């Protein structure tokens, strides 16, 4: 890790804290050829969007300042949240609007000058990304104990997975013999997903492309020594 800078993950809960590191560890090297970043092994569990943006995003700013204070060589923060909120600041939820807001507020903690930051929303849930890769998961036992995972005959729904099914967790559970439990199944399924990631990529999900783009942008910013917040509304075409 000599010469590398730290990437810290902010995630919603326990299942995400176990699932996101193997996914980021798989994707990051593909977008960071200079190996400027290394992934911190202990994600921050930060709760949902509503809690982060309450009272002018006070909690979001506090957590960023805490990460800056406690994580040596912090260079970048990647926030990954489910995009299933109904409202955002009393308006219908829009992932782009929420990401712009979080990016702007992150500047109050030093993002864009002292470290880089990128909020990303998995639409509508992280499990939607797993459903996108369903055909690559069928019939494969879950690590590390070889429990039954996705049924052999499982087929991902047609259409836009970011619009439907709205209950991605429920949909995923229907394809598992024992149902789906986020805290115990999310990470094992992700570990299988990363081995056949192109299956999910072929579904063309905008939120997953944004996840990969954010990692690439964070790595490029660190490589050139110019910190960013992304997305940034003023820089959009």
Give yes or no: residues 117 and 138 share one domain: no
pLDDT of residue 132: 98
Q: Which of 110, 125, 137 is nearest to 207 (CA)?
A: 125
pTM of the model: 0.96
- Which CATH number goes with the domain that contains 23? 3.40.50
For residue 2, give the 3-state DSSP assignment: coil
Give yes or no: residues 161 and 112 share one domain: no
Give yes or no: residues 107 and 219 share one domain: yes
pLDDT of residue 3: 84
pLDDT of residue 55: 98
pLDDT of residue 235: 53
CA-to-CA distance for 62 and 42, rounded, in angstroms? 18
Give yes or no: residues 164 and 227 share one domain: no
pLDDT of residue 237: 42
pLDDT of residue 1: 56
Asked whether residue 237 is assigned to any structural domain, the reply reads no
Give yes or no: residues 190 and 211 share one domain: no
Q: Name the residue range of residue 174's domain.
A: 127-201
Give yes or no: residues 109 and 145 share one domain: no
pLDDT by 10s per residue, the chain, length 237 = 558 999 999 999 999 999 999 999 999 999 999 999 999 999 999 999 999 999 999 999 999 999 999 999 999 999 999 999 999 999 999 999 999 999 999 999 999 999 999 999 999 999 999 999 999 999 999 999 999 999 999 999 999 999 999 999 999 999 998 999 999 999 999 999 999 999 999 999 999 999 999 999 999 999 999 999 999 986 544
Give yes or no: residues 59 and 109 share one domain: yes
pLDDT of residue 5: 97
Give yes or no: residues 58 and 165 share one domain: no
Predicted confidence (pLDDT) per residue in 163-193, tens digit = 999 999 999 999 998 999 999 999 999 999 9
pLDDT of residue 153: 96
Give yes or no: residues 106 and 223 share one domain: yes
Give yes or no: residues 218 and 189 share one domain: no
């Amino acid at each position: 890790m000599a010469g590398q800078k730290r990437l810290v993950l902010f995630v919603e809960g326990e299942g995400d804290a176990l699932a996101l590191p193997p996914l980021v560890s798989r994707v990051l090297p593909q977008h960071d050829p200079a190996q400027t970043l290394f992934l911190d092994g202990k994600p921050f569990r930060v709760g949902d969007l509503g809690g982060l943006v309450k009272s002018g995003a006070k909690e979001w700013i506090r957590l960023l300042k805490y990460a800056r204070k406690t994580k040596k060589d912090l260079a970048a923060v990647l926030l990954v949240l489910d995009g299933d909120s109904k409202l955002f600041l009393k308006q219908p939820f829009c992932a782009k609007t929420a990401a712009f807001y979080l990016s702007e507020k992150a500047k109050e903690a030093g993002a864009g000058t002292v470290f880089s930051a990128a909020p990303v929303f998995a639409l509508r849930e992280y499990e939607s990304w797993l459903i996108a890769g369903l055909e690559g998961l069928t019939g494969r036992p879950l690590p590390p104990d070889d429990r039954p995972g996705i049924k052999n005959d499982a087929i991902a729904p047609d259409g836009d997975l970011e619009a439907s099914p709205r209950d991605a967790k429920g949909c995923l559970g229907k394809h598992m013999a024992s149902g789906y439990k986020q805290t115990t199944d999310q990470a094992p399924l992700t570990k299988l997903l990363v081995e056949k990631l192109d299956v999910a990529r072929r579904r063309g999900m905008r939120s997953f492309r944004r996840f990969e783009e954010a990692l690439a942008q964070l790595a490029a910013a660190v490589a050139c020594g110019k910190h960013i917040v992304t997305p940034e509304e003023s820089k959009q075409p």
